[in-house]
Amino acid sequence: AQTVTQSQPEMSVQEAETVTLSCTYDTSENNYYLFWYKQPPSRQMILVIRQEAYKQQNATENRFSVNFQKAAKSFSLKISDSQLGDTAMYFCAFMKHVGGPVRSSNTGKLIFGQGTTLQVKP
């Protein structure tokens, strides 16, 4: 079974600085996807960034980038130029890639880590 671990329950960063959130996962699969979701106080789950395991190049989305280390099973999120609106809980998530016809094993379900609460200070 796959597991996702976020070892930093809480972090803080000064506005405009850079912060890195850690995530490790355990899987025997070779083909999968990794995600970072943001959950602000509104509770809405918002996709920040995603990474396909078969791609060696690290994904980037504006101020957000990842450091994907497949052999080490590590998937960290770097937030550059932190803004007050980045204050939220961040979840790392894993999804096994399964293609083919509809079967009970072909779920597309996400496995989440415990989350990291990030506070951006003015």
Contact residues for other proteins (CB under 8 A)? 4, 9, 33, 35, 37, 42-45, 47, 50, 91, 93, 95, 97-104, 106-110, 112-115
Q: How far is residue 108's CA from residue 102's CA, in Å, rounded to a whole number? A: 11
- Nearer to other proteins by Cβ, of 42 and 56: the residue is 42
Q: What span, in angstroms and rounded, lies between the C-alpha atoms of 5 and 99?
A: 26
Residue number, 86 or 91, with CB nearest to other proteins: 91
Nearer to other proteins, 18 or 30 (CB): 30
* Tokens describing residue 18: 């850079």
Cβ partners under 8 Å of residue 104, min gap 6: none
Is the distance from CB of 47 to CB of 75 less than 8 angstroms?
A: no
Three-state DSSP class for residue 95: strand
Nearer to other proteins, 83 or 107 (CB): 107
From the CB of 57, what's the least distance to other proteins, in Å?
Answer: 17
Min CB(58)–other proteins separation in Å: 18
